[in-house]
Amino acid sequence: MSAVVAEHEHDHEHDHHDHGPAKGILRWIITTNHKDIGTLYLLFALVMFFVGGAMAMVIRAELFEPGMQFVEPQFFNSMTTMHALVMVFGAVMPAFVGLANWMIPMMIGAPDMALPRMNNMSFWMLVAGVLLLASTLFMEGGAPASGWTLYPPLVLQTGKALPFAVFSVHLLGVSSIMGAINIIATIFNMRAPGMTLMKMPLFVWTWLITGFLLVAIMPVFAGAVTMLLTDRFFDTSFFDAAGGGDPVLYQHIFWFFGHPEVYVMILPTFGVASTIIPVFARKPLFGYSSMVYATAAIAFLSFIVWAHHMFTVGLPMAGELYFMYATMLIAIPTGVKVFNWTATMWKGSMTFETPMLFSIAFVVLFTMGGLTGLMMSVAPLDFQYHDTYFIVAHFHYTLVPASVFILMAAGYYWLPKWTGHMYDEKIGKLHFWLSAVSVNILFFPQHFLGLAGMPRRIPDYAVQFADWNMISSIGGFIFGASQLLFLYIVIHTIKGGTGEKVTDEVWEDAAKHGLEWTLPSPPPYHSFTTPPTIIPTEHI
Amino acid sequence: MHLCVCRYASHVSVNSNVEQKNSRLALKLLLVVLGMTGFGFALIPLYDVLCELTGINGKVGTRVDSSTLNYVVDKERNLGLDLVTSLGKATPLIVETETKSLQIHPGQFYVVNYRVHNQADKALTIRAVPSVAPGVAAADFKIIECFCFEPLRLEAGEAKNLPLRFVVNPGIAQQSNHLALAITFLNTNKD
Ligand code: HEM
Ligand SMILES: [Cu+2]
């Protein structure tokens, strides 16, 4: 980013009309402060990360050996379904909304989010949605067990839980739509003078585009699940062949939402990576504007490739070909991004603090997920991969060592700013190495399983798959346990960390890379109450 | 205790101009949300329209008027055709075809009979949904007469012989030399 602050914000402490936070627990319930709400989102996401993680541990424990070990098949399928829903809607998406809340106002020199009261509402609606979803676990007939895609007719066999799951999707949808509207309004209207669009940090850019994706797709998803509900209870036949409907139609509508949805989870990831890598490479981001255009291109393409999830449903030949080539196109802007991150590091004076380690691992491992994606985009080949563990391996590479690793990186990168305390670098590095090694033990063998034909979403399997499953489970247990280190670090840092005094910049020369580093650590409750003036400099 | 539920702390000067812009933008985005909600439902008819327009629909099951076809029988080609039937859930029928598979010439009209027997002690309304594999051949499989064009009513215990008349376009691709016609019988009574 090419901006420095000319007028330093002056201490606001002398202003006695200032409202600090309310006292006690009420502060968190009624808060409209972007930092408080950001904290709430991030902590909530962290809790959900462990809830969803516990479900993953159930899955890997059952798959440790062939045969039925610990849980009933129905419950196993509820676990795969709930694991995905909790991780997507409870952990990854809220974590990025939390980052947006904390960082976007500070990155663009705004005093707060544009619509603070709506901000509060969207957080609590998220909590309500997730609690409603979790409550289905205790209902007659169990939680939804159809897979997170909720395909009919299978999902219509859900017991008492179906309407509750649908309402929970409605709540989660409204919550993320409100979050998205807020972020878009903040970015369009609240920028400090001189913060032109093409000077915005990439995290802001990627969230702007993600915001538009969310506004466009969440209503479609909400509509699709509503149609499931009316098919079940009100005698409509949207997806019921007996009444003249078509179950494949659901898949079209779902993936019209579903494919952009996976980019909702990856675009902000790209943004954070583009923020962190330049700081630790001590170089400006390579190809800033190409990054912006690539993000926009990916977002646009994400709307016209949905049926690559449906190559095997019996698409007409023209459809197979079109969706194959359109999907392959996505690899181009994605490749631009990977190239730019690599070029940013090229001949940089790199240091390898924990946020940078996670970011480098992201670049490498995300690329692997992209490569398997490219393999699957070849329609005739996808007939082999579809609905096998190969798919599971693909999207976990794009989500765990990508989105989740970058969320970890963001945590390490900004925790000192948020709390004013330094985290323990030794434990951070330990967390990184344990995670980076175990995530590969966990997911790499799943490629082999998938190629050998092991179907996804099954609690038992042929003995030929035994060895790789055991290895994968061992990786899973190590990965799961290692995340407790992160929990420890977060708590430890909030409570004072290493005790080392952190500067405003925290990282060497960070202030060249982002406005947030010009504020004290931790920043005052209300920051940039007078907008900073951004004076353009040549690219740093 | 003084609770801060004001929009910003009082010293924060966000001028009302910005606030107005914010609510206006939020409103516009809300309209987009409403529009997309409508679009989600509109996709149901839109997909059909799109398939129709582009002609890529892989579905069979629309009535073809045989007088519009002037096919020449291709005695040189023999295609295999498997007749597959299946039942939806809670569909108490017995369905049999007079043959499980046959050899056909493209361009030649054929009739096969389906025998459907209602096992229930009440009347059923059945919907028969045909589909052709491989999907690329579906467009060349022309159904002239079929019980699958409209809902089918069977009295309690009733058995019926139902003819299906079809022809395969002689222009069918060379590599499509074995087809399957699958018909699923679905009970429309939801209880
Ligand atoms: C180069 C970019 C990518 C390409 C070409 C690609 C391609 C594909 C294809 C063709 C499938 C369907 C495979 C099948 O079910 O048979 C798929 C599935 C999936 N992809 Fe990707 N992908 C890419 C990147 C991503 C990214 C960035 C994410 C998420 C952050 C992602 C998440 C997923 C998920 C979650 C599924 C599985 C959905 C399900 O069936 O449950 N992909 N991908
Ligand atoms: Cu996709």
Predicted complex ipTM: 0.85
- Establish, for the pair of chains A and B, how many residue pairs have beta carbons separated by less than 8 Å: 146
CATH of the domain at B180: 2.60.370.10
Residues with Cβ within 8 Å of residue A154, at least 6 apart in sequence? A146, A147
**Is the separation of the CB atoms in A309 and A446 below 8 Å?**
no
Separation of alpha carbons A532 and A504, rounded Å: 16
Considering the domain architecture, whether residues B33 and B91 belong to the same structural domain is answered as no
Once rounded to an integer, what is the mean pLDDT over residues A281-289? 94
Residue A235 touches chain B, beta carbons under 8 Å: yes
Active site residue A259: yes
**Is the separation of the CB atoms in A58 and A116 below 8 Å?**
no
Active site residue A31: no
Q: Of B17, B36, B54, which residue constitutes the final position of a domain?
A: B54
Separation of alpha carbons A260 and A303, rounded Å: 6
Tokens found for residue A97 = 């909304």
Please report, to the nearest 10 degrees, the dihedral formed by the alpha carbons of residues A349, A351, A355, A361 taken in order.
80
Q: Ligand 1, residue A376: give the atom nearest the CA.
A: 10
**Is the separation of the CB atoms in A405 and A361 below 8 Å?**
yes
Once rounded to an integer, what is the mean pLDDT over residues A310-336? 92
Considering the domain architecture, whether residues B109 and B174 belong to the same structural domain is answered as yes
Separation of alpha carbons A152 and A130, rounded Å: 22
Say if residue A124's pLDDT is above 90: yes
Separation of alpha carbons A301 and A305, rounded Å: 7
Separation of alpha carbons A446 and A389, rounded Å: 6
Considering the domain architecture, whether residues B13 and B63 belong to the same structural domain is answered as no
Considering the domain architecture, whether residues B29 and B49 belong to the same structural domain is answered as yes
What is the number of domains present in chain B? 2
Residues B143-153 pLDDT 10s: 999 998 888 99
Is the four-CA dihedral A191, A194, A198, A202 of positive or negative sign?
Answer: negative
Considering the domain architecture, whether residues B17 and B111 belong to the same structural domain is answered as no
Residues A36-92 pLDDT 10s: 999 999 999 999 999 999 999 999 999 999 999 999 999 999 999 999 999 999 999
- B136 or A353, greater pLDDT: A353
Tokens found for residue A287 = 């190809």
Q: Looking at residue A203, what is its pLDDT?
A: 96
* Angle made by CA atoms A316, A321, A325, in degrees to the nearest 5: 150
Q: Looking at residue A538, what is its pLDDT?
A: 39
Separation of alpha carbons A459 and A70, rounded Å: 10
Separation of alpha carbons B118 and A439, rounded Å: 56
Q: Distance from CA of residue A7 to its chain's centroid? A: 35
Separation of alpha carbons A476 and A445, rounded Å: 11
Q: Does domain A3-8+28-536 have CATH number 2.60.40.10?
A: no
Considering the domain architecture, whether residues B62 and B50 belong to the same structural domain is answered as no
Residues A513-535 pLDDT 10s: 889 999 988 999 988 888 887 76
Q: What is the DSSP string of A117-159?
A: HHHHHHHHHHHHHHHHHHHGGGSTT-S--S-TT--TTGGGG--
Residues with Cβ within 8 Å of residue A401, at least 6 apart in sequence? A361, A362, A365, A366, A369, A436, A439, A440, A443
The shares of helix, strand and coil residues in chain A, as percent rounded to the nearest 5, are 70, 0, 30
Distance A341 CA to ligand 1 centre (A): 22
Q: How far apart are the first and last CA of chain A?
A: 8
Substitution target in A232, A529, A530 with the highest count of B β-carbons within 10 Å is A529
CA nearest neighbour of A75 among A161, A152, A166, A149: A161
Q: Distance from CA of residue A126 to its chain's centroid? A: 15
Tokens found for residue A298 = 């990916």
Say if residue A169's pLDDT is above 50: yes
Q: Ligand 1, residue A374: give the atom nearest the CA.
A: 5
Considering the domain architecture, whether residues B67 and B142 belong to the same structural domain is answered as yes
The Cβ of residue A358 has, within 10 Å, a number of other Cβ atoms equal to: 28
Helices (H), chain B: 16-54
Separation of alpha carbons A245 and A293, rounded Å: 40
Answer yes or no: do B129 and A241 touch at CB < 8 A: yes
**Cα distance from A429 to chain B (closest Cα, Å)?**
40
> Considering only CB atoms, which chain B residues are within 8 Å of A181?
25-26, 29-30, 33
* Residue whose tokens read 């409907």: A245
Is A3 strand, coil or helix? strand
Residues A424-447 pLDDT 10s: 999 999 999 999 999 999 999 999
Q: What is the DSSP string of A302-331?
A: TTS-GGGG-TTS---HHHHHHHHHHHHHHH
Q: Looking at residue A16, what is its pLDDT?
A: 42
List average pLDDT for each run of 10 residues in chain B, which is 191 residues long: 37 68 92 94 87 69 79 91 91 92 93 93 91 84 90 91 93 90 87 59
Say if residue A481's pLDDT is above 90: yes
Active site residue A431: no
Q: Percentage of chain A with pLDDT > 90?
A: 83
* Residue whose tokens read 């008492």: A160
Residues with Cβ within 8 Å of residue A247, at least 6 apart in sequence? A151, A152, A153, A239, A240, A241
Distance A454 CA to ligand 2 centre (A): 21
Separation of alpha carbons A238 and B105, rounded Å: 38
Of A15, A185, A221, the CB nearest to B25: A185
Answer yes or no: do B29 and A220 touch at CB < 8 A: no
**Cα distance from B115 to chain A (closest Cα, Å)?**
19
Once rounded to an integer, what is the mean pLDDT over residues A166-194? 95
Q: Looking at residue A149, what is its pLDDT?
A: 96
Ligand 1 binding pocket (C-beta < 6 A) is A 149, 262, 265-266, 308-309, 327, 330-331, 334, 370, 373-374, 376-377, 382, 385-386, 391, 394-395, 398-399
Separation of alpha carbons A260 and A311, rounded Å: 17
Domain ranges of chain A: 3-8+28-536
Separation of alpha carbons A119 and A111, rounded Å: 14
Considering the domain architecture, whether residues B83 and B144 belong to the same structural domain is answered as yes
Residues with Cβ within 8 Å of residue A138, at least 6 apart in sequence? none
> What's this model's pTM, rounded to 2 decimal places?
0.90
Considering the domain architecture, whether residues B92 and B80 belong to the same structural domain is answered as yes
Q: Of B19, B36, B54, which residue constitutes the final position of a domain?
A: B54
Residues with Cβ within 8 Å of residue A474, at least 6 apart in sequence? A441
DSSP bridge pairs for A448: none
Considering the domain architecture, whether residues B133 and B50 belong to the same structural domain is answered as no
Once rounded to an integer, what is the mean pLDDT over residues A457-471? 96
Please report, to the nearest 10 degrees, the dihedral formed by the alpha carbons of residues A155, A158, A163, A169 taken in order.
-50
Quick one: pLDDT band at residue A3, thresholds 50, 70, 90?
A: very low
Distance A217 CA to ligand 2 centre (A): 14
Q: What is the DSSP string of B116-142?
A: EEE-SSS-EEEEEEEEEESGGGGGGEE
Of A21, A184, A314, the CB nearest to B29: A184
**Cα distance from A217 to chain B (closest Cα, Å)?**
7
Q: Looking at residue B39, what is its pLDDT?
A: 94
Atom 8 (ligand 1): residue with closest C-alpha? A373
| Active-site residue (options: A9, A36, A62, A112) | A112
Residues A181-220 pLDDT 10s: 999 999 999 999 889 999 999 999 999 999 999 999 999 9
Say if residue A94's pLDDT is above 90: yes
For A232-254, what is the HEC assignment? HHCCCCCCCHHHCCCHHHHHHHH
**Is the separation of the CB atoms in A475 and A438 below 8 Å?**
yes
Residue B26 touches chain A, beta carbons under 8 Å: yes
Q: Ligand 1, residue A399: give the atom nearest the CA.
A: 30
Question: Which ligand minimizes its atom distance to the CA of A366?
Answer: 1
Separation of alpha carbons B58 and A246, rounded Å: 13
Residue A222 touches chain B, beta carbons under 8 Å: yes
What residues sit around ligand 2, an ion, with C-beta below 5 angstroms?
A 259
Considering the domain architecture, whether residues B81 and B12 belong to the same structural domain is answered as no
Mean pLDDT check: name the lowest of A90-99, A134-143, A238-247, B109-118. Answer: A238-247
Answer yes or no: do A115 and B26 touch at CB < 8 A: yes
Residue A317 touches chain B, beta carbons under 8 Å: yes
Residue B10 touches chain A, beta carbons under 8 Å: yes
> B177 is in which domain, residue-wise?
58-187
Q: Of B12, B33, B54, which residue constitutes the final position of a domain?
A: B54
Considering the domain architecture, whether residues B79 and B7 belong to the same structural domain is answered as no
Question: Which ligand minimizes its atom distance to the CA of A259?
Answer: 2
Q: Looking at residue B70, what is its pLDDT?
A: 84
Residue numbers of B between 49 and 108 with CB closer than 8 Å to A: 54, 56-58, 88-89
